[in-house]
Amino acid sequence: MRLKEKTHRKFVEFFEKISSMYHGKDFELAYSDIQRETGAASVTLKRAIQALAEDGVIEVHSGRNSRYARFRYLLPVQENEEKNNPEALLNETRNSENLSDGEKPQPGRILETINEDVTELSQLVDHLRRRVRNQEMSIALLQDRLAEIEDKMRKR
């Protein structure tokens, strides 16, 4: 069963965004994180991942456990690599300062690049916050289980 065009596009855009955050390298994600970001049901998520893998959009491998998978986005990322490179941005700024009097710098281009960098950093921070929150929840769960085991041992 094929995906609806809107759903397919949503997942392709999601994986492209995540791939650009990891600079095209393999990345591991929890299925629950993908669901949260895309708003898809678990059945739709499984179908979408399978469909994207069959279409050659992503490559999927098993992750650290059944709730995670390693992905590789196979399509070329639409962003220009120089936008993500701080040195290129700095050089562009310097070059615009060194222009002759007849040439005018493009401040809109520089601001656009800076805004894109800030957006990418915001996405990375949000991703890290979600990961930290998941780890905190796991730690709390383990502490609860440990307390239960300690209580059982004291009763003996």
Mean pLDDT of the chain: 81
Task: Say if CB 18 and CB 73 are below 8 A apart.
Answer: yes
pLDDT at residue number 90: 52
| 89-102 tens-digit pLDDT | 555 555 544 544 45
Compute the C-alpha angle 18/126/80, nearest 5°. Answer: 40
Contacts of residue 21, Cβ cutoff 8 Å, sequence gap at least 6: 27, 120, 123, 124, 127
| 59-98 tens-digit pLDDT | 999 988 889 999 999 887 665 444 445 555 555 555 544 5
